Amino acid sequence: MPGERLTVRSPADIGRFPGAAPPTRVELTIHKEGEKKPEEGGCRRWFKKMCPCCFKKQASSSRDITDRVELVKPPTPNIVLLSVASVDLLSSKTGQNRREHHTDLFHGEDLIIRRGQTFQIEVELNRPFNSDTNKLHIELKTGGLPLVSKGTHVIIPLVDTLEDERWESKIVEQTNSKIKLSVNSPASAVVGLYGLSVITCSLKGDNPSTYNSPKNIVMLFNPWCEEDTVFLEDKDERKEYVLNETGRIYYGTEKQIGARTWNFGQFHEGILEACLFILEKSDMPPSGRGDPVNVVRVVSALINAQDDLGVLVGNWTGDYSNGVSPAAWSTSVEILRKYHSSYGTPVCYGQCWVFSGVTTTVLRCLGIPARSVTNFQSAHDTDVSLTTDVYFDEKLEPLDYLNNDSVWNFHVWNDCWMARPDLPAGYGGWQAIDSTPQETSQGTFRCGPASVSAIRSGQVYLKHDTPFVFAEVNSDKIYWQRNLDGTFNQIHSEKKAVGHCISTKAVGSDERADITHLYKHQEGSEEERIAVETASRHGSKPDMYSSPSAEDVSMEVRIDGEGPRMGADAQLSIVVKNLSSEPRQAILHSQVAVMYYTGVLKGTIKKEQMPVELQPNEEKTLEWVLTYQQYQNQLVDQAALMLTLSGRVNETKQVLANQTTFRMRTPDLVITPLGEAVVGKEMAAKITFTNPLPRTLKDVVFRVEGLGLQKGHVVVVGDVGGLATVTLTEHFIPSQPGPKKLVASLDCKQLTQVHGVANIVVIDQ
């Protein structure tokens, strides 16, 4: 360029004693004509004199070239790093995610999804995304210490094509700086609450930027996904056992089966949070929440408060002064919300049907198909003998101190549906679990899951707790008599004493479905006897079997119709039949005792003897009566009684023995809807109750609730006179369309198990 000349720094600037720090690059400097060159430092001039060979003088016309030449790099342009501005989890109840994942009935704004299924999110970036220059991935974390190796810290890469059973994401839409991602999860993913982050960086991984979503993701089990171990193929069963918020729980005796409506309310506001709280409260590591076997085992322990401050305190004493009577509950919602809001303070009180109702709610909420199941004449085997033992003294009087085994009038537990890869093939499907604290399992009050198929076939060695459940439904009842030397002889056996009318709500209706055939073969069949003997070989008394004996006199107790009603006399029929061609004589000893529904006797209230004379092949009916005056001040919860009959045939010495439980039936509440049921429009319902007793009921309380109709609340009525009728009118505004149930219950010290339900179809405006 005219008037300018180019010079390159001298080699003297490079050496062990430079006048300045060694250059990191060679600088090209332009000097204009007439400008004085920069002066050399003193040290440099001194070294030049001392070592002239290193500093040869060059002609002024030549260019000084160093042995390293690098051009000066132009200044780097100011590039904006890629980052996330916002994330939309598309969690609207009416949006695609919630509809496709069958979670649109849940309340709340978190993204609620089911594993093994894709979901979509939208990511807003600060500039358009270009996969040639940037990377993007999603991270999900759950639990207190998320670890990739445990599946609790999930890194989800961005791919071109999604593959099943892998955590992956794919861009399905891109508009300017906004991208929509489709995210895939495996069917074995850990369930629970996840935090979501989106990380962006350069292709080399430099300059990463992390965006943490303020909203969480809730991952649930997926009975709609074939790869999930809780997959349930039948859509009607999925609708019933996962999506139905109301159900029926059965109680009473096999000859007097009662039914009560229960509001499970698994989609009600606050219930999902309460269920996740229960999982967090357990000692199960988060990595174990992907296995439904682990989850239901933990749930069966945490629904009771026996040893881990779980949800419900069990109480069978009859004194509920510090809480709510178990018979007064008709919903899981109030119980779970109260437990959650008190940060895990157990709720008072529960008995088996309450434990079961709450368990159904929790499992359905988490996505595990579940139902409440009632077993009538349910044995409680205390010594793992797989038999129910009844002991008499020399005079055939019951020995209460030895009769530790008991037979409950009814007992309610749960079935849940899942595959069992931990068991041999063929034992998946319905699994029995029990949250009522009866016996410990591995040191904790819990029970199951026990394969119902294993129970049916007597394979009691298969886990978990199969022997206990088998004894409940199919143990033989063995009667023993004490000898003068203190030993006992087996005098009688009943092979059909337990496990009757096993019941659950039918799919798609309020009818009762008998599922006894799932738990046991037909009574008396060869298959059923083989199952009993197979199970007995694994019990604590493997060599004790029911000894056959010649028995030609039979005895049974019959109850007419729905059975005796509260406030009236109880009348039962004892039918004795001579099956031989010879006459038979016997003396029957009868005693009736007030009984808790668990089979524990409170006390005997009547004893008598009845002589029996039978002609060859004759059948005789003996009428047995218990008057109201004899039981009026004696009954406890469930109003249950046990009639014990024993005797010996004079001619053959055959022992006659029978135990029959029955209850005094209580009246129902009659609920009558008034007016048309329309969303957002006030309506009313009339609740009517008639006192069946000739005495005053004290401190009567009503509890009323209807999902989508009325929040649960208490109405204090006070005293209700003998044989009087009281009417309560409820006003409420329906909030959801469709078929609904208004449920009410009555509670007082003198009368329990009084409840009613009205079916109301709400139309949209």
Give the residue numbers annotated as catalytic, written as ranges.
Answer: 352, 411, 434
Cβ–Cβ under 8 Å, residues 242 and 101:
no
Cβ–Cβ under 8 Å, residues 631 and 457:
no
Cβ–Cβ under 8 Å, residues 262 and 332:
yes
Name the CA radius of gyration of the chain, rounded. Answer: 39
Written in H, E and C, the secondary structure of 390-404 is EEECCCCCECCCCCC
Angle formed at CA 451 by CA 449 and CA 456, multiple of 5 degrees:
140
Bridge pairing between strands 601-614 and 153-156: unpaired
**What angle separates helix 292-302 from helix 352-366, to the nearest 10 degrees?**
150
- Number of Cβ within 10 Å of residue 676's Cβ equals 10
Residue 365: enclosing H or E segment and its boundaries? Answer: helix 352-366
Amino acid at 215: K
Torsion angles phi and psi, residue 294, rounded to 5: -65, -45
- Tell me whether residue 415 is annotated as binding: no
Cβ–Cβ under 8 Å, residues 268 and 248:
no
- Tell me whether residue 619 is annotated as binding: no
Q: Tokens 């609920």 sit at which residue?
A: 671
Choose among 189, 50, 244: nearest CA to 741.
244
> DSSP strand E in 515-639: where?
553-558, 570-578, 584-595, 601-614, 619-626
Peptide bond into 464 cis (omega under 30): yes
Amino acid at 237: E
- Tell me whether residue 476 is annotated as binding: yes
Cβ–Cβ under 8 Å, residues 742 and 710:
yes
Query: Both tokens of residue 564?
Result: 């005796």
Q: Tokens 């794919």 sit at which residue?
A: 170
Q: Tokens 């300045």 sit at which residue?
A: 20
Amino acid at 528: E
Give the total residue count for the chain.
765
> According to DSSP H, which parts of 475-604 are helical?
516-519, 526-536
Q: Exposure string (b/e) for 594-618, b if CB count within 10 Å is 16 or more?
A: bbbbbbebbeebbeeeeebebeeee
Binding positions are: 474, 476, 523, 528
Residues that constitute the known binding site for Ca(2+): 474, 476, 523, 528
